[in-house]
Every structure is written in structure tokens, then in C-alpha cells.
A and B are shown apart, each in its own frame.
Chain A
Amino acid sequence: MLAFAIRRLMQAVGVIVVVALISFALFRFVGDPINQLVGQDTTPEQRAELRQQLGLDDSVVVQGARFIVNAAHFNFGISYQFKRPVSDIVAERLPATLELSVLSAIFALLVGVPMGVYTGLYPASWLSRVFLAVSLLGVSLPTFLIGILLIFIFSVDLGLLPSFGRGDVVTIWGTWTTGLLTTSGLRSLIMPTITLGLFQMTLIMRLVRGEMLEVLRTDYIKFARARGLTRRAINFGHALKSTLVPVITITGLQLGSIFAFSIITETVFQWPGMGLLFLQAVQQVDIPIMAAYLMLVAVIFTVVNFIVDMLYVAVDPRIRIRGVQA
């Protein structure tokens, strides 16, 4: 088990390093940092001096090493657009996206898993058909369209919920701005959470359903029936547990990507988070922010994945305990 953990850790670190290299490549080879930072009338001598100051004359390897060391301290230099340190900007915008992502993930799980279990257990019931129809919509509607539709119905038509922004936010723990402690903050969170989480919820539901149907066909469920176990014991004791085990890994993968998916939702709702920041960075070719965002996504994704892998090992005894070679 320890060997397994270490191997996963190495893989995770590997991924992060590769992403770091890609980010660095972005820095080095796309566009000219100097031209981005200075105005039109800076003289060539001033540019050359700036270039030397920023260490852009050093060899690629040195720059690369410097980049990685800086990245480890989360120092990505100065943003081309805002002329401020990237780490400051990120610290301001990160809480918005993290709150939204975590809430969406919880929404997706809390709704998706039960729906999936129900449609797996009772595939012929009318409620299952309704759920499946909803799931089809969830997979087919682009996220931005869902957001717009929600805005159209609840803001334009009914005027119930705010259509942009986070509402009033409260600062806690020094720098963390949260919308969870104000009414307007909570109301602002509703539609973005559903928008961001709907696609994931649908995927989870379909996954759980598929697994459930598979598990119900296995020999050990058949044997459980032959032993006369109650329906509840079979469905919720045996089938459910077997279903959820493989679902854990895939769900983890999905949820890790919610953070990156927030780009779209934040655009629709003008949510002042990392996603919107990244989009603006792409439009303005603001490399430092792009690089920082990439690293952030990679780190979050790998951390979530690692946790999920450990969870999987804890739950499935076949991996945890070495068995007899069949």
C-alpha cells in the first residue's frame, strides 16, 4: 500500500513538472515580455536594460530553473495587463472560484449519486425515465447556455435571483473573501452553482447508473439472491457498495476538472474568479497569468486525484490487502 502511494505521488509530481515546463515554454517563446510591459516610447537602450534586469538574457536552462523555483513559491512575476504581481491578483480571485467549485461539486454529488442509484435499481419506473431525460439535457446543453437560460428565467422573467457578480462578500481569515455569510452572497451563488455543477451531476448520474446495472448482473448478486437475502440487503448492502467503489476514481477526475470548467460559468455570470481572469489573459495574451493558472489547475487536479486514489485503496480490500494468486 505504501508502495502504491509513493508511486502515485511520483506520478503526480511528474505531471506537475511537465505542466511547469509547458508554462515556462509559454513564457519564453510566445510573444515578447518586454514589449508587453513597456510603452511605445521606451528607448531600445531602456528595453535592453530591462531585459537584462529581468534575466531574459540568460540561457534557457537558467531561465527554466529560475521559473520552476519561482513557481514553487508561486511567484509568476508581473501581469502584463494589470502591471501588478500575479500572486496578488490570484490571491484576490481564488476564493471566488474555490467557493463556487466546491459547492458545485457537492451539488453534483448530492444530486447525481442518488439519481443514479435510483435509475439503476428501478430502470423501468417513470421517475427513472424522467431522470434519464433530464440527464440527456444536462449532457447536451452547453454550460453557457444553461447559465443563460437560468438567467433568462430567474433574473429577466421572474426577477428572483441576481444575474451577475457575487453579491456582498465578507472577508475572513485575513484574505479570504466569502459570499457564504451574506444573503445576497448566497443568492448570487445559486445559479452559478447549478450551472457549473449540472454537467458533472449528469455524468455522475449516468456513471452510477451504468455501474449499478453492471453490478446487478454479477454472479455474487445472483448468489446473494439464491441465499434469500432481502432486497434491501442486496441493493443497498452489496450492490451499492460495489457500485460506488469504481465510481470514486472517475468522480474524482471529474471534480478535479470543475475548477477549470468555471471559466465558462464565470463568464456568463461575471463572477470575479480565476476563470474569468484566465479568459481575459488569453484574450490579452497575458502570459504570466496564463502560466499561473495552468500551474494552479495542475496542482488542484493532481491533489484531488491523489486524495481520491488513496480513498479508493482504503475502500477496496483487494488492493489494500495482498491476496492469494488465483
Chain B
Amino acid sequence: MTELAGEANVAPAPPRSALQRVLDSDIFYSFTGSPVTIASAVITLLLVAAALLAPLVAPHNPFDPASLSIADSLLPPVWNKDGVSDYLLGTDDQGRDVLSTILYGMRISLSVGFASVLLAIAIGVPLGLAAGYFGGYADAIIMRVADVQLTFPAILTALLIDGVARGIAGPQAYNDVVFPVLVISIGLSFWVQYARTVRGSVLVEANKEYVLAARLIGLRPIAILFRHILPNVIGPVLVIATINLALAIITEATLSFLGVGVPPTQPSLGTLIRIGNDYLFSGEWWITIFPGITLAVLVLAVNLLGDWLRDALNPKLR
């Protein structure tokens, strides 16, 4: 009788490179399997690229008052009989080329959006980690503050901070600091989501054995938080961040639309829409509609990416 026949007939799989592991992963599979997600990713990339390269790509610079001419104002898009090929999508009431303003405006929307998301993460994640890990007073205080803030929707918080800044700085000085104020006001409106989610994750992870082991070895709390707990928390944070980005872009546009956002000399998509709103009834629809479509497409694409990310990272659906 022969002795134990070797190992199983299944040959061991060859080691895969890191790239192969990514291509093989479930996440990549769900990405390539969904044409909608690919389309949104492509669109987002295109829009971001267009915004980044605006100075190179845009036919005009709408932020330079010297280049504007009132004579060119309120021109319709090029396919209209009164349109001019210089201004493909028409001009607004100050002679600004709508296409160029959209490109530059997207820049503002995207940069304010990204910056405020980063700020919200920079505030929310550490606060959530602290609240979850240290508990006690820190937890109580942070969560009470969060509760109070949740009473007010983001737009209200942003408006408030904006108004306070305006009141403190005075109208002239305000224009100089408007961008940081915008980023801070939007960022401060959104940190709570991160803090709560991170705190929840920390509470779950902190009870697990690997954390106990780390504490027994004598690792300092900061080290434990950053090396062990944080990686487990990244997933939900990423998902929130994409949704947050869409909301941040919308909030900036809303603030600009309401007239309390970016200064009128540097219009963002929201400002354009506001300007165009006055001209809807008199027939100059392009000032509102084109920026509106751009805004909608941008936010839609970001939302779709966020949706895909959430489904891909959801352990229950895997």
C-alpha cells in the first residue's frame, strides 16, 4: 500500500504581482462590469482635466476685466443666427464668454469642493478617532457639539459662518478672504458625518483582539489609532468623501447663487446661474442653462462614482 499520495492534485497558484491583484480584485471587476460607472469616471476625469487646464483650454479669460467688452454682451450661442464663433456658447451681461466662464467656474467649484472635503476630513476624522478611542469627556463633548451642529443643515451653517465673517471683516476686507472663508464654512458644515462614522468604527474595532494585543505590547494610543484602527476606517470615510464632494460642490454653487459666495468678479457656476436667472424671461436662456447642465453633470458623475464605491466596499454585498 502506498503512503500518503502527495498533496492535493490542485497545483499551487503562482504568485501574482500587485498589479494583477488589483486587476483580479472584486472592486475592479465591479468597476469594469458597470458601463455607467466607467462613463462617470471618464466624465469626471474629463471635467477635472478641463478645469485644471482652463487657462490653456479656454478661448478667453473671463476674470480679466480688461478683456471684456460690453458690446459683446448677451450674445447667443454660435448655432443661433446671431451667434458669433468667438463665443461658442454665447456671452453673459458683461460680455464674458459663457464657455470660458464655465471652465474657470468649474475650477472654483472643484477647488473649493476638494479643499472643503479635505478640511472636513482633517477635522472630523481625528475628532471621531479621539471620541471613539478615549471616550469619557472627550466623547461627550464632541458628540454634543456634533448634535448641535446637526440641528442646522449644511447650507445654514455655511451661510452663518459666511455672514459672521462678513460682519467681522467688513465688506471690503471680506472680498480678500472670501475663498478661505468659503472653504472653512463649507468644510465646517460637513465634519460631523466623518466624526460619527469614524467614532462608530473605532468603537467596534477598539474591542477587537488585535487592539487589545497592541495595548498589551505597550503601543502608545496614537500609534494604535493610526497604524491599526485607521486603515479599517478608511473605507467608509472614502464613501462619505465622494458624497461629500458632490454636496460641497452643490453648497458652493448654492452660496454663489444666493449671492454670498464668490465675488462677482470671479464667477463660479452658481454665480453664472444667478446672473442668467434674471434673463430667463427675456430669452437669454444660455447664461443659466449651460452652467446648469455642467453643474448637474459634474455632480451626477461624482455621485455615481460614490454609489459604485459604496457598493464595492460594502462587505455585506461581497
**In-complex A–B contact (CB below 8 Å):** yes
A302 to B289, CA, bound (A): 38
Q: Could you mark each residue 174-189 of chain B with 1 if its beta carbon is under 8 Å from any beta carbon of chain A, else 0?
A: 0000000000000000
Please tell me which stretch of A90-98, A112-120, A172-180, A277-285 contacts chain B, meaning at least 4 of its Cβ atoms lie within 8 angstroms of it. Answer: A277-285
Cβ of B55 to closest chain A Cβ, rounded Å: 26
Contact of B303 with A by CB under 8 A: yes
Who on chain A is nearest to B144 by CB?
A14
Decide: B151 and A15 in contact? CB cutoff 8 A.
Answer: yes
Q: Cβ of A142 and Cβ of B156 under 8 Å apart?
A: no
> Do B160 and A294 touch across chains, with their CB atoms under 8 A apart?
yes
Chain A proximity of B74: nearest CB distance (Å): 16
Dominant SS at the B interface?
helix
**Which of A15, A142, A263, A302 has the most chain B CB atoms closer than 10 A to its own CB?**
A142
Size category, B interface = 35 or more
| Nearest CB of chain A from residue B281's CB, rounded to whole Å | 6
B181 to chain A, nearest CB (A): 13
| Alpha-carbon gap, A144 to B273, bound state (A) | 9
Which A residues from 144 to 201 make CB contacts under 8 A with B?
144-145, 148-149, 151-152, 155-156, 163
B229 on the A face (CB < 8 A): no
CB-contact partner of B280 in A152, A281, A287, under 8 A: A152
Contact A285 B254 (CB under 8 A): no
Interface core residue of B144, B151, B163, B258 (most chain A CB under 10 Å): B151
B31 interface hit (Cβ, 8 Å): no
Is there an interface contact between A282 and B162, defined as CB atoms closer than 8 Å? yes
Task: Report Cα–Cα, A155/B280, bound state, in Å.
Answer: 10
B126: interface (CB < 8 Å) = no
List residues of B (218-272) whose CB comes within 8 Å of A's CBs. Answer: 246, 250, 253-254, 257-260, 270
- From B163, B246, B307, contact of A282 by CB (8 A): B163
A14 to chain B: closest residue by CB: B144
On whether the beta carbons of A15 and B148 are closer than 8 Å, the reply is yes
Contact B167 A156 (CB under 8 A): no
Checking A148, A261, A298 against B277 with a beta-carbon cut-off of 8 angstroms, the contacting residue is A148
A282 CB → nearest B CB, Å = 4
B296 contact set on A, CB distance < 8 A: 137, 140-141, 145
Residue A30 interfacial (CB < 8 Å): yes
Residues of B within 8 A of A263 (CB): 155-156, 159, 258
**Distance (whole angstroms) from the CB of B311 to the closest CB of chain A:** 11
> In the complex, are the beta carbons of B151 and A297 less than 8 A apart?
yes
Give the distance in Å from the alpha carbon of A261 to the alpha carbon of B258 in the complex.
13
B159 lies within 8 A of A18 (CB): no
Q: Knowing A148-B277, A253-B150, say if A137 contacts B300 (CB, 8 Å).
A: yes
Spell out A's residues near B (CB within 8 Å): 11, 14-15, 18-19, 26, 30-31, 136-137, 139-145, 148-149, 151-152, 155-156, 163, 253, 256-257, 260-261, 263-264, 267-268, 278-279, 281-283, 285, 287, 290, 294, 297-298, 301-302
Give me the interface of B with A, judged by CB distance under 8 Å.
144, 147-148, 150-153, 155-156, 159-160, 162-164, 166-168, 246, 250, 253-254, 257-260, 270, 273, 277, 280-281, 285, 288-289, 292, 295-296, 299-300, 303-304, 307
23 contacts between A and B (CB under 8 A): A14-B144, A19-B151, A30-B168, A136-B300, A136-B307, A137-B296, A139-B246, A141-B299, A144-B254, A152-B289, A155-B281, A260-B155, A260-B156, A263-B159, A267-B258, A279-B159, A279-B258, A279-B259, A281-B163, A282-B160, A282-B163, A294-B152, A298-B152
